[in-house]
Amino acid sequence: MKEVMTSNIYDIDETIIIVGTCLKYMQPKGYEKLEKISKNIYNLCLENTHVNMAITKIGGMIRTGKVHNIIFATVDESPHCIQMHYIQDELREMMNLENINIKNYVVVNDELIEISPELILLSKKLSESKEKVSI
């Protein structure tokens, strides 16, 4: 497994999977499901790396023109890992991603649960979330 922040931006394939560093150890069977999609898996720990640095690095990977599919996958309920799912929104503001297929998963009980871009965006807007959820 490679590290996002120390890998060369040209050492990539058409599909890249970016996972929270702890995913392989906390959800091993879920991780194996990701390996069946692509062996081109990169670790990223947003406890150690500022999200803006990761956005810049991943943007560089996309700019090469080699990447057509990106999967972000994390454990659920991590305040650090949730930031990984926000990366796509920031990249969309910076560059045209219409030819890039992006999927987001949280892994719970070793199952991949796909999370929609709309839900990710809503999770950043607490005031809007408050209106939609009555707790």
**C-beta separation of 71 from 23 below 8 A:** no
- At how many degrees (to 10) do helices 117-124 and 82-94 cross? 100
Cα(97)–Cα(8) distance, rounded to whole angstroms? 21
Burial of 117 (0-12, 13-18, 19+ CB in 10 A): middle
Show pLDDT as tens, one digit a residue, over the chain (135 residues): 899 999 999 999 999 999 999 999 999 999 999 999 999 999 999 999 999 999 999 999 999 999 999 999 999 999 999 999 999 999 999 999 999 999 999 999 999 999 999 999 888 888 877 777 776
Range(s) of the domain holding residue 78: 2-132
The pLDDT of residue 116: 94
The pLDDT of residue 68: 97
- At how many degrees (to 10) do helices 82-94 and 51-63 cross? 50
The pLDDT of residue 133: 75
Residue 70 belongs to a domain with what CATH number?
3.40.50
**Site of tokens 């659920």:** 76
Q: Provide the 8-state DSSP code for 2.
A: E
The pLDDT of residue 38: 95
Tokens of 110: 């070793």
Q: What's the domain count of the chain?
A: 1
Give phi and psi for 93, each to the nearest 5: -70, -25
The pLDDT of residue 122: 87
The pLDDT of residue 23: 97
The pLDDT of residue 55: 98
The pLDDT of residue 107: 98
